[in-house]
C-alpha cells in the first residue's frame, strides 16, 4: 500500500505550475529600458572624456582617460556652487510650503463641510487648465518689489492645484470612521489631521513631495524673470550661462548635467518605496 502511494502520480492540482513568460512583451520592456537608460549612461561616460574623445568618429563609448578636470572646469566657468545652493534652498522651501498648503487644502475639502465647498473645489480645479504664460505678467506686477530675493522666487510658485488633488484623492480613501472615532475621543480638527489623516496618507504625500521638488528644481522661466544677480540665480539659469561659456566643450556640460541630476536621483532612492506603494494603492481603488 505504501509502495503504491509512493509510486502513484501526483494530482495535477498539486503540481507546481510553471510560469509562462510573454516573450514579446519582455523584449519590448527590455528595449524600452535600454532606450531610457542609454542617455544617462552616455552622459556619465561623456563627462569624463577629453575634447578629442568627444569629437572622435565613430563615437567612443569609454573615455581614453577618465578626466576629472571637467567637473572642476564647471566651477571655474560659472559660480556653479552658488547656483546649486540657491536651487537646493529654494526647491526645498517651495516643496515644504507647497505640501503643507496642499495638505490643509485637501483636508478642508474632504473632511470639512462649509458653505461654497463645491464651488471652491471647482475653482481650484479650473486653475490646472490655466497656462503659466498667462499668469507671468500679473505675477511679475504683484511680486516686482521682491525682485532679487529668495522670497520672490519661492512664494509665487508654492500653490499647486495638481498637488492638492493628488493628496485629496488619497484622503478620500481614508475611512470616515477613523475621524469619527477620533472626534469621540475629543480630538479637534488639527489633531485629527496630524494624528489620523496624515499618517494614513504618507505614501501619497511623499509622492506629491517628489513631484513638487522635481518641478521646482527644473523651474526656469520664473527665476529668470525675477532675478538679475548671480547671488539669487538658480541652477537652470546657470546651465544656460554654462552653455554660452563652453559652447564647444560638451564634456564640461555633461559633467554639469551629472551634478545637476544628483539631488533628484537621491530623492527618488529615498522615496522609491513610498512611490511604488502609492501607485499600488491607486491601482487598488475602485
Residue-by-residue DSSP string for 204-235: HHHHHHHHHHHHHHT--HHHHHH--STTT--H
Q: What share of residues in the chain are helix, strand, coil (percent, to 5)?
A: 75, 0, 25
Candidate ranges 28-32, 53-57, 96-100, 155-159; pick with highest mean pLDDT: 96-100
CB 205 within 8 A of CB 193: no
Question: Smallest Cα–Cα separation from 189: which of 111, 106, 103, 99?
Answer: 111
**Per-residue confidence (pLDDT) for residue 62, from 0 to 100:** 85
| 31, burial (CB in 10 Å: exposed 0-12, middle 13-18, buried 19+) | exposed
**Per-residue confidence (pLDDT) for residue 279, from 0 to 100:** 62
Neighbours of 70 (CB within 10 A): 25
Query: What digits encode the pLDDT tens for the residues 17-36?
Result: 566 667 888 889 889 888 88
Question: Smallest Cα–Cα separation from 268: which of 210, 209, 217?
Answer: 210
List Cβ neighbours of 265 (8 Å cut-off, separation of 6 or more).
Answer: none
Comparing 95-99, 138-142, 195-199, 275-279, the range with the smallest average pLDDT is: 275-279
- Complete domains list, the chain, with CATH: 19-67 (no CATH), 77-284 (1.10.3720.10)
Question: What average pLDDT does range 226-239 have in this prediction?
Answer: 90
| Residue 101 pLDDT > 50 | yes
Question: What average pLDDT does range 50-65 have in this prediction?
Answer: 82
Scanning the structure block, which residue is given the C-alpha cell 505504501? Answer: 2
| Residue 145 pLDDT > 50 | yes
| Residue 11 pLDDT > 60 | no
Q: What is the pTM of this model?
A: 0.82
List Cβ neighbours of 83 (8 Å cut-off, separation of 6 or more).
Answer: 230, 233, 234, 235, 237, 238
CB 90 within 8 A of CB 216: yes
**Per-residue confidence (pLDDT) for residue 286, from 0 to 100:** 43
CA–CA separation, 156 and 193 (whole Å): 26
**Per-residue confidence (pLDDT) for residue 281, from 0 to 100:** 58
Question: What average pLDDT does range 199-210 have in this prediction?
Answer: 86
| 199 or 246, greater pLDDT | 199
pLDDT tier for residue 91 given thresholds of 50, 70 and 90? very high
C-alpha of 185 from chain center: 38
| Residue 229 pLDDT > 80 | yes
pLDDT above 70 covers a percentage of the chain that reads 88
pLDDT tier for residue 98 given thresholds of 50, 70 and 90? very high
CA–CA separation, 61 and 58 (whole Å): 10
Query: What digits encode the pLDDT tens for the residues 254-284?
Result: 999 999 999 888 888 887 777 776 666 554 4
For the chain, the average pLDDT equals 84
**Per-residue confidence (pLDDT) for residue 90, from 0 to 100:** 94
Amino acid at each position: 500500500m505504501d509502495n503504491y502511494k509512493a509510486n502513484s502520480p501526483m494530482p495535477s492540482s498539486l503540481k507546481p505550475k510553471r510560469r509562462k513568460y510573454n516573450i514579446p512583451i519582455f523584449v519590448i520592456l527590455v528595449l524600452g529600458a535600454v532606450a531610457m537608460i542609454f542617455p544617462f549612461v552616455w552622459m556619465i561616460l561623456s563627462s569624463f572624456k577629453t575634447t578629442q574623445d568627444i569629437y572622435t568618429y565613430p563615437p567612443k563609448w569609454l573615455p581614453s582617460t577618465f578626466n576629472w578636470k571637467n567637473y572642476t572646469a564647471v566651477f571655474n566657468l560659472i559660480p556653479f556652487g552658488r547656483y546649486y545652493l540657491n536651487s537646493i534652498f529654494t526647491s526645498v522651501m517651495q516643496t515644504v510650503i507647497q505640501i503643507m498648503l496642499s495638505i490643509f487644502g485637501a483636508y478642508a475639502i474632504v473632511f470639512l463641510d462649509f458653505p461654497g465647498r463645491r464651488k471652491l473645489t471647482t475653482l481650484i480645479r479650473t486653475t490646472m487648465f490655466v497656462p503659466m504664460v498667462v499668469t507671468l505678467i500679473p505675477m511679475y506686477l504683484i511680486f516686482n518689489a521682491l525682485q532679487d530675493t529668495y522670497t520672490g522666487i519661492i512664494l509665487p510658485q508654492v500653490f499647486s492645484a495638481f498637488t492638492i488633488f493628488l493628496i485629496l484623492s488619497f484622503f478620500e480613501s481614508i475611512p470616515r470612521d477613523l475621524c469619527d472615532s477620533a472626534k469621540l475621543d475629543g480630538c479637534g480638527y488639527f489633531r485629527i489631521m496630524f494624528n489620523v489623516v496624515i499618517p494614513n496618507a504618507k505614501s501619497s504625500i511623499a509622492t506629491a513631495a517628489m513631484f513638487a521638488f522635481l518641478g521646482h528644481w527644473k523651474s526656469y522661466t520664473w527665476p529668470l524673470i525675477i532675478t538679475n544677480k548671480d547671488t539669487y540665480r538658480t541652477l537652470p539659469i546657470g546651465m544656460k550661462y554654462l552653455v554660452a561659456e563652453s559652447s564647444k566643450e560638451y564634456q564640461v556640460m555633461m559633467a554639469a548635467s551629472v551634478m545637476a541630476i544628483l539631488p533628484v536621483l537621491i530623492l527618488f532612492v529615498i522615496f522609491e518605496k513610498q512611490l511604488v506603494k502609492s501607485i499600488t494603492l491607486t491601482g487598488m481603488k475602485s
